[in-house]
Structure formats: structure tokens, C-alpha cells
């Protein structure tokens, strides 16, 4: 007989469509949560866990609300770990849409050597392809070159918290163009503080906006539910991009804010009697409408006006 080797195609598991933040109910449970989740992942390849570094949450991703509820039950029964599920926080970001100038003078004198550093800078949107987001445009030695890295460090740290709702700032260009120093009292820490303060003012004057993650969604539904599904997408601030036909199903292609989709698997199932399905992938960040931004600002745990006082 002639020997041969057969290779099976890799199993294509469906991508997660429902997300929830998972939190241990006690410190003892929290200590066991990591290993317990790893054990569950080894047994269920359709389940995913991600640690979001921006929101500092552990996010459980599954195929629906029943799937996630079953995972919570398994964690309790198999691993003796008690957890609760909640709607994940959204990793908002901030940027600017105009130009703004910032100025900050850090001056302290409390006996002995003081602290002194003054920075003037401009903030504007970073253009595509421009890799130099931070530039030193001072002339005449208004700020010694050895203090410029300290200013940049202060700017970078301040960009962790924007001027609108305190979310990380992206896609901005910063130009340091003037300032002043003191022969004795100037130091790296003084210019770091001055750089951060100047950026704070510059951001607030450069028409800042909040950005939200947008997901590309592909919904497969019987034609009878097309009106209900598209109407619901409009309520979710979704934008329908097109339609396709696949076998006997209608496919809707749309862009939808991530914040509207955390429970969409259960909502779509209820809307279509379980006959529709969907997938989603991250697309981009886009500007949040003013009415939505007002709510985000009110709910933000970070208060920009209280920082750096």
C-alpha cells in the first residue's frame, strides 16, 4: 500500500461580537482571575480576553450574552472565582481641529535656589505624513537647547489628558517658538512643568474635539427584517455604506460607533428572532457629535480644569 498524509483545514472559529468588562468581586477573586481566565481560554477558542491599557479594564469577548453568562458560571463552578460583568468603558481620544497658542511661566522662589522656566508654543493638527510632531523653533537662545528635551517630556506627559474630557491626545503638532530662562533657577523640572502648562492652554485654544472608535459592521439578515435593522442602525448613529446579497440573505455594510454595539448581539437576535448575524472590525477614530460629546464630558472621571493647578 502507498502511504499518504492528509491535512485537515484549520478550524475557522467565529469572531466575538459581544464585549463585557469583567471584575472580580473581592481581592481574593482578583488574585485568581488571571489564571482562571487562561484556563477557560484553553477550553473555549471562541472566547477572548483583552486587557485594555487605556481604560484599565479586562474585557471578556464572546459570541453573545448567553456565552458570556455561561463563562461567568464556569468561572464560579470550576475555578471558584466570582466576577461581575459590566458595559466596557470606551477608549475615547482627543485631538485638535484648529490652531492655538499656549504660554506658561513656572516660577517659584522659596529660599535658596528657585525654579524658573517659561515656554511659548503653538498647537495644530498633525498633517498626514509629517513624522515630526514636536519641533524646536526658538531663536537667539531664548531657551537653551539642553532644556528642550525636558519641555518635550512635559508635553508628552500632558498629552495623556486632553483639555476637553481628559482623554489621550493624538495627531497634534507642537512647535516651541519662544520662552525665557534664568541662569541659576532654571532646571529641567521647571521647563517640564512649563511645557505641560503651555500645552494645556494651547490645546484648549485649538478647537479640541473628542474622538470615538468606529466599527465596520457586516450584518446578514433575511429580507423581511431589512427595514427594522437599518432603522435601528440609524438610531445608533450608524452610517449604511452599501448592500449585498449572499445566498438567500441580505447583507448590510455599515459604520457604527463602538459604544452603540456592546449589546448589539442580543438586540439583533431579539429584532430578527435569531435569524440574523453580524461581524465587526475596528475601522478608525472619528469626531464625536457635539450632543454626544456633552454627555461624555459630564461622565468623564477626569476633570481637565482641575489638573496642573
With residue 108 as reference, give the H or E element that holds it.
strand 100-108
Taking every pair of Cα atoms in the chain, the longest distance, rounded to a whole number of angstroms, is: 96
Angle of CA points 114, 119, 125, to nearest 5°: 150
Predicted confidence (pLDDT) per residue in 47-104, tens digit: 999 999 888 999 999 998 999 999 999 999 999 999 999 999 999 999 999 999 999 9
Q: In the sheet that 57-62 helps form, which strands lie side by side, from edge to edge?
A: 48-52, 57-62, 18-24, 83-86
Predicted confidence (pLDDT) per residue in 222-267, tens digit: 999 999 999 999 999 999 999 999 989 999 999 999 999 999 999 9
Question: What is the arithmetic mean of pLDDT over 97-115?
Answer: 87
What percent of the chain lies above the pLDDT cut of 90? 81
Among the listed residues 106, 212, 215, the one whose alpha carbon sits nearest the alpha carbon of residue 165? 212
Q: What gap in Å lies between CA 251 and CA 244, rounded to an integer?
A: 5
Question: What is the arithmetic mean of pLDDT over 9-18?
Answer: 84
pLDDT at 7: 76
pLDDT at 131: 87
Task: For CA atoms 120, 124, 127, 133, give the dihedral sign.
Answer: positive
Instruction: Please say if the pLDDT value at position 308 is more than 60.
Output: no
pLDDT at 156: 97
Amino acid at each position: 500500500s502507498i502511504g499518504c498524509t492528509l491535512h485537515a483545514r484549520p478550524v475557522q472559529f467565529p469572531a466575538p461580537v459581544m464585549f463585557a468588562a469583567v471584575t472580580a468581586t473581592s481581592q481574593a477573586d482578583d488574585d485568581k482571575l488571571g489564571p482562571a481566565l487562561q484556563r477557560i481560554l484553553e477550553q473555549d477558542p471562541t472566547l477572548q480576553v483583552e486587557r485594555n491599557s487605556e481604560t484599565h479594564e479586562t474585557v471578556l469577548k464572546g459570541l453573545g450574552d448567553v456565552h458570556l453568562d455561561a463563562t461567568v458560571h464556569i468561572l464560579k463552578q470550576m475555578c471558584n472565582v466570582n466576577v461581575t460583568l459590566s458595559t466596557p468603558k470606551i477608549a475615547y481620544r482627543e485631538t485638535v481641529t484648529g490652531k492655538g497658542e499656549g504660554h506658561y511661566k513656572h516660577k517659584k522662589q522659596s529660599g535658596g535656589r528657585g525654579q524658573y522656566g517659561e515656554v511659548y508654543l503653538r498647537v495644530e493638527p498633525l498633517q498626514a505624513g509629517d513624522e515630526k510632531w514636536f519641533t524646536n523653533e526658538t531663536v537667539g537662545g531664548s531657551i537653551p537647547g539642553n532644556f528642550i528635551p525636558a519641555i518635550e517630556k512635559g508635553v508628552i506627559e500632558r498629552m495623556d489628558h486632553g483639555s476637553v474630557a481628559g482623554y489621550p491626545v493624538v495627531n497634534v503638532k507642537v512647535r516651541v517658538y519662544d520662552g525665557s530662562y534664568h541662569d541659576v533657577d532654571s532646571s529641567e523640572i521647571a521647563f517640564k512643568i512649563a511645557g505641560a502648562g503651555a500645552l494645556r492652554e494651547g490645546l484648549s485654544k485649538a478647537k479640541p474635539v473628542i474622538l470615538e472608535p468606529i466599527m465596520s459592521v457586516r450584518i446578514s439578515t433575511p429580507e423581511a427584517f431589512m427595514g427594522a435593522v437599518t432603522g435601528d442602525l440609524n438610531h445608533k448613529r450608524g452610517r449604511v455604506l452599501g448592500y449585498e446579497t449572499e445566498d438567500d440573505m441580505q447583507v448590510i455594510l455599515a459604520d457604527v460607533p463602538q459604544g452603540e454595539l456592546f449589546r448589539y448581539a442580543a438586540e439583533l437576535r431579539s429584532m430578527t428572532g435569531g435569524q440574523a448575524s453580524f461581524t465587526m472590525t475596528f475601522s478608525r477614530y472619528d469626531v464625536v457629535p457635539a450632543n454626544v460629546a456633552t454627555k461624555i464630558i459630564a461622565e468623564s472621571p477626569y476633570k481637565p480644569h482641575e489638573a496642573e493647578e
